Chains A and B, each alone.
Chain A
Amino acid sequence: MSPGSGAGCSPIPAKAGIGLRFQHHRAVIEGKPPVGWFEVHTENYMGGGTPLGDLDAIRCDYPISLHGVGLSLGTAEGLDPAHLARIRRVADRVAPVLVSEHLSWSISGGVYLADLLALPMTEEALATVCRNVDQTQGYLRRPILVENPSSYLRFRHSTIPECEFLAAVAARTGCGILCDVNNIYVSAANHGWDAAEYLAALPASAIGEIHLAGHSVRELEGGRMLRVDDHGSRVIPEVWQLYSEALARFGPVPTLIEWDTKLPPLETLLDEAARAQALLDHERKSLGRADAA
């Protein structure tokens, strides 16, 4: 992936897109809503039948991004070659503009734990992630984007701040970064990090995509609050604010609205995407003025 401005790092225009779920397939195929692109979970299209047929129709009209949740880039035991092969099969069929995965792990002892688990931020984990990203990019014959996850725990023996860890993965492997602004907000709130410092530590030239989503707040024992990334509501004002700061730092970057639980009508997602698009347009105008000055 060639470095450049944030927007230049991505093969799709810096527009707002929507995470597409099965329930909205018909509405998209029949209504062709005005949105820049769609992102789907790679794992949802590993079989045949209706979902893949629908996606064939949708990708005639929109760029598609493949977002994986099951590769387990941080696993110490090596990647599952069967899963990697399935990802390549989907990518060969769908011809996505972007392929992304997470800075996390989900497989141990051959068991899939169905979540994006936090990694210890150590040199050993960094080397493991880089080895797995290298293998993935070599096998898929393309660069991928790696996303910062929300996290709910930290390890005693971590030595590297997550933002620096992610920047190092990008620098060592040439992968891009999928900057999930909601996840930065959630993890910063859960662990007492400074979200602005996190953004400042990411290399603008590697940012290929931004994610926005809603999250929930859970009260645990002793009244302690934990923010949980459940993609089940609108983006909160504080995350919109952080998104504006991210755009100011990275420039206009393709931005995705994610919504997975309690899925609302497509119109609600389009409304959120329009809001992101307005901020992208505003950022582009600011850049224009700066260039003219």
Chain B
Amino acid sequence: MSASHSAVPTLLEVQRALRRSLVEHDDGEAAGYILADGLASEGRLNVYRNTFIGALTTALRLAYPAVHRLVGPEFFEGAARIFIEKEPPRGAYLDEYGSGFPEFLAQFRQAASVAYLPDVARLEWTVSRALHAPDVEALDLSRLVAVDPADHGRIAFVPHPSVGLVQADCPADTIWRAVLAQDDAAMAAIDLGSGPVWLMVQRFATGVEVTRFSKQEWRFANRLCVDQPLQEALDDASGFNASAALAGHLAAGRFTGFRLETAP
């Protein structure tokens, strides 16, 4: 439906038309607003469309370097283009763009032969979040000491924004490391059938670390990180030393604060 050229479009109309052109390849209305001047509107719009796709593909490649290496640049760019048009960014802070890419890959038929790809992507997104998380001081332990021991069970921790927990059905951490190190021998030694892994991701001053936990330890950490009171997390913990695990989390600076859960 082309706009009447006699009526002057509003800024809102122009911007909506160009968005439809760039994201949905619907040039009809936008072309009517543009001076041809020796070059078809499509060629002019393509300059912006190429930057739109190019800049966002770069953002995804930076967030998913191992996925990029696993599938190769051509496949990655093709998948990225479809994803970008399906889920364009909702804001201009591109370090936050691409959270839906692992789920997109899980549903992407052309990637179905690489069954571990979505798990590696989920890990990479958690690593990317850790890399870009804001700087926040770890919990000052003297604040915990000041809590009445009778209230310890009601402590609900606030996790550090760089901390993330990932569960994968394959050794996603081993694959991720081998791919980024371009270590073919390590890659060849990976047993995809070795079972699930439970991972904790965290940024330290030295960089982002990915650590394997047992299933029970991971569940305990996960409960603490989703705002559950300490007593509930402890009640659920079995098969490992929960006090030692808690001390480890505190020493590693995995929490930035806490509140006292009010009794139900």
The reply on A72 being an interface residue by CB < 8 A is yes
Known: A128-B11, A153-B34. A112 touches B90 (CB 8 A): yes
The reply on B33 being an interface residue by CB < 8 A is yes
A122 to B33, CA, bound (A): 13
Contact for A108 among B18, B35, B47, B162, CB less than 8 A? B18
The reply on B48 being an interface residue by CB < 8 A is yes
Would you give the shortest CB distance from B246 to chain A, in whole angstroms? 25
The reply on A75 being an interface residue by CB < 8 A is yes
Q: Which residues of B contact A122 (CB under 8 A)?
A: 8, 11
Known: A108-B18, A117-B18. A226 touches B39 (CB 8 A): yes
Which residue on chain A has the smallest CB distance to residue B44? A153
Known: A120-B14, A128-B11. A112 touches B92 (CB 8 A): yes
Known: A124-B10, A224-B39. A111 touches B23 (CB 8 A): yes
Could you tell me if B19 and A108 are in contact, using CB atoms closer than 8 angstroms?
yes
* Selected interface stretch from A42-50, A175-183, A235-243, A250-258: A42-50
Would you give the shortest CB distance from A87 to chain B, in whole angstroms? 10
Could you tell me if A46 and B15 are in contact, using CB atoms closer than 8 angstroms?
no
The reply on B174 being an interface residue by CB < 8 A is no
The reply on B199 being an interface residue by CB < 8 A is no
Could you tell me if B91 and A105 are in contact, using CB atoms closer than 8 angstroms?
no
Which residue on chain B has the smallest CB distance to residue A83? B92
A155 to B51, CA, bound (A): 20
A157 to B91, CA, bound (A): 29
A259 to B224, CA, bound (A): 45
Could you tell me if A220 and B11 are in contact, using CB atoms closer than 8 angstroms?
no
Contact for A191 among B5, B37, B89, CB less than 8 A? B37
The reply on B195 being an interface residue by CB < 8 A is no
Would you give the 0/1 interface string for A83-102, flagging 1 where the beta carbon is closer than 8 Å to chain B? 10010000000000000000
The reply on A228 being an interface residue by CB < 8 A is yes
The reply on A17 being an interface residue by CB < 8 A is no
How many chain A residues touch B (CB < 8 A): the figure is 52
Would you give the 0/1 interface string for B22-64, flagging 1 where the beta carbon is closer than 8 Å to chain A? 1100000000011101111101110110011001100100000
A49 to B95, CA, bound (A): 13
The reply on A107 being an interface residue by CB < 8 A is yes
Would you give the 0/1 interface string for A101-130, flagging 1 where the beta carbon is closer than 8 Å to chain B? 000011111111111010110101100100
Known: A70-B92, A152-B47. A47 touches B131 (CB 8 A): yes
The reply on B88 being an interface residue by CB < 8 A is yes
* Selected interface stretch from B73-81, B116-124, B132-140: B132-140
The reply on A265 being an interface residue by CB < 8 A is no
A117 to B23, CA, bound (A): 14
Q: Which residues of A contact B134 (CB under 8 A)?
A: 47-48
Of the candidates B15, B37, B41, B56, the one having the most CB atoms from chain A within 10 angstroms of its own CB is: B15
Contact for B43 among A82, A108, A220, CB less than 8 A? A220
Could you tell me if B133 and A49 are in contact, using CB atoms closer than 8 angstroms?
yes
A105 to B18, CA, bound (A): 11
The reply on A9 being an interface residue by CB < 8 A is no
Within 8 A of A (CB), among B71-113: 88-95
A46 to B22, CA, bound (A): 26
The reply on A76 being an interface residue by CB < 8 A is yes
Would you give the shortest CB distance from B124 to chain A, in whole angstroms? 16
Would you give the shortest CB distance from A228 to chain B, in whole angstroms? 6
The reply on B16 being an interface residue by CB < 8 A is yes
Contact for A52 among B34, B51, B59, B135, CB less than 8 A? B135
The reply on A138 being an interface residue by CB < 8 A is no
The reply on B196 being an interface residue by CB < 8 A is no
Q: Which residues of B contact A80 (CB under 8 A)?
A: 91-92
The reply on B9 being an interface residue by CB < 8 A is yes
Could you tell me if A109 and B93 are in contact, using CB atoms closer than 8 angstroms?
no
A72 to B133, CA, bound (A): 24
Would you give the shortest CB distance from A50 to chain B, in whole angstroms? 8
Which residue on chain B has the smallest CB distance to residue A126? B11
The reply on A288 being an interface residue by CB < 8 A is no
Would you give the shortest CB distance from A211 to chain B, in whole angstroms? 18
Contact for A117 among B37, B48, B90, CB less than 8 A? B48
Could you tell me if A47 and B47 are in contact, using CB atoms closer than 8 angstroms?
no
A107 to B16, CA, bound (A): 9
The reply on B12 being an interface residue by CB < 8 A is yes
The reply on A289 being an interface residue by CB < 8 A is no
Known: A76-B12, A117-B18, A153-B41. A49 touches B91 (CB 8 A): no
Would you give the shortest CB distance from A271 to chain B, in whole angstroms? 26
A114 to B92, CA, bound (A): 7
What are 11 pairs between A and B in contact, CB < 8 Å? A47-B133, A72-B92, A80-B92, A82-B91, A109-B16, A111-B19, A112-B88, A124-B10, A152-B47, A154-B35, A155-B14
Given A112-B91, A114-B89: 16 more A-B contacts, CB < 8 Å: A47-B132, A48-B134, A49-B135, A52-B135, A72-B92, A108-B19, A111-B23, A112-B88, A113-B19, A114-B55, A153-B48, A155-B34, A155-B35, A221-B39, A221-B43, A226-B39
